[in-house]
Amino acid sequence: MATQLAAGQYLGATTRRVECGGAMLSEVLHRQGRALPPHGHEASYFCVLLDGGYVEQAGPTVLAYRPFSTAFHPEGLFHVDRIGASGARFFMVDVPRQWSARWDGHFDAALNAAPGFLSHDAALLLARLYGWSRRELVSAELLDSALCELLGDAAGTRATRETRRPGWMNRCVEMLHARIDAPVSIAEVARALDLHPVYMTREFRRCFGRTVGEYSRRMRVRAACRLLADRGRPLAEIAAATGFADQSHFTRLFTAIIGCGPGQYRKLLIET
C-alpha cells in the first residue's frame, strides 16, 4: 500500500529546512542507492536534484534525473523512485494549499499536470532560491513571487509539450545543447537548418520567450551548476567547458542569474 506523506515530509534524511509563510524549503539527502516504496505527497512541490542520480515513475511517465533536473509534482501523485548508486541530494519547495487557493485557480493546469521536467528558467530560479535559503535571504514576498513564476512555468511547459513544435525547432535546441562549450552563432545555426536567421530568431523567441543567445547563456549557466559539485575542478576550467570567454565573464553572468558567485555557490553545494 502506498504511503501518503504530509507537507514537508520526504523519504530520506532532511538535512536542512526553512519555513517561510507556511511554505517549507527542504534539503533532502539519500546517502546510497536504493529503491523507494510507492508514496505520494499531501502538498504539491517543486524539486531540483542537486547531486547524484534519481529515476522516478508515476504511472506511464518515467523521468531520469541528472543534477539540476527540475520537476513539479501535484499533490496526491503516487510515484515509485530509485535513488542512484552514489545517492542523491534534493532541494524541495512545497506549495502550501493556502497559497494556491489565493491564486483563484489561475494555475490549475499546473497543479493538476502529469509530472515532467521544467525549463531552464525554472531550474535556474530554483537554483537561485536554494542559494537564498542557504544564506537565509528568503522572505514571504520573494517566495510568493518565485512560486508564481515556477507555477507559470509548469503550466507553460505542459502547454508546450501538448503543442506540436516544428521539427526544425527541436533540431535547433539539440544544436544549442551540443554546443555547450562555445557561444552560439545565429548564422551558423540558421544555415544548418536552412532558415533565414531573422525568421529563426523570431520564431524561437515566440516559442521560448527568450532570444537564442539568452537561451544559450542560461543553458550554459545551468550546465555550470552541475559541474560545480565537482570540488576538484577549477572554476576557470568550468568556465571554459561551458563556453565562457574567461572566468571573469563566467562569474559576472553566473552571479547575475543565480544571485551569488560560482565559488560561493560551490561552497553551498558541497557542504552537506
DSSP class per residue in 224-252? HHHHHT-TTS-HHHHHHHTT-SSHHHHHH
Residues in the chain: 272
For residue 142, the model assigns a pLDDT of 84
Q: Is the pLDDT of residue 104 over 60?
A: no
CA distance 266 to 233: 11
Residues 144 and 175 in one domain: no
Residue 261, CA atoms < 13 Å, CB-side half-sphere: 9
211-231 pLDDT tens trace: 999 999 999 999 999 999 888
Looking at the chain, the whole-number percentage of residues with pLDDT higher than 70 is 90
Cell numbers 557542504 correspond to: 271
For residue 114, the model assigns a pLDDT of 67
For residue 56, the model assigns a pLDDT of 94
Taking the CB of residue 96, how many other CB atoms lie within 10 A of it? 19
Boundary residue ending a domain (107, 138, 162): 162
Q: Is the pLDDT of residue 256 over 90?
A: yes
For residue 143, the model assigns a pLDDT of 85
Residues 153 and 20 in one domain: yes
Boundary residue ending a domain (128, 162, 196): 162
Average pLDDT over residues 3-14: 87
Taking the CB of residue 88, how many other CB atoms lie within 10 A of it? 25
Q: Which long-range contacts (CB under 8 A, 24 or more apart) does 266-269 make?
A: 266/228, 266/229, 266/231, 266/235, 268/130, 268/131, 268/134, 268/135, 269/50, 269/51, 269/228, 269/229
Which residues span the domain enclosing 217?
A: 167-270
For residue 141, the model assigns a pLDDT of 82
Q: What is the CATH number of the domain that holds 225?
A: 1.10.10.60
Q: Is the pLDDT of residue 105 over 90?
A: no
- Distances from the Cα of 110 to the Cα of 105, 114, 146, 159, angstroms: 10, 8, 15, 9
Residues 110 and 171 in one domain: no
Residues 119 and 91 in one domain: yes
Residues 12 and 120 in one domain: yes
Residues 53 and 133 in one domain: yes
Residues 47 and 84 in one domain: yes
The residues, any chain, with a CB within 8 Å of residue 64's CB and separated by 6 or more, are: 54, 55
Q: Which residue would you say has higher pLDDT here, 179 or 21? A: 179
126-173 pLDDT tens trace: 999 999 999 888 888 888 888 888 887 887 765 555 456 788 999 999
Average pLDDT over residues 57-70: 92
DSSP string, 87-105: EEEEEEEEE-HHHHHTTTT
Q: Is the pLDDT of residue 89 over 90?
A: yes
Residues 151 and 252 in one domain: no
Residues 88 and 144 in one domain: yes
Boundary residue ending a domain (119, 134, 162): 162
Mean pLDDT of the chain: 87
Residues 79 and 146 in one domain: yes
Average pLDDT over residues 65-80: 90
For residue 107, the model assigns a pLDDT of 61
What's the per-residue H, E or C state across 111-166? Answer: HCCCCCECCHHHHHHHHHHHHHHHCCCCCHHHHHHHHHHHHHHHHHHHHHHHCCCC
Residues 238 and 119 in one domain: no
Average pLDDT over residues 72-80: 86
For residue 7, the model assigns a pLDDT of 83
Residues 138 and 195 in one domain: no
Number of domains composing the chain: 2
Measure the CA dihedral 203/205/207/213, to 10°: 110
For residue 162, the model assigns a pLDDT of 47
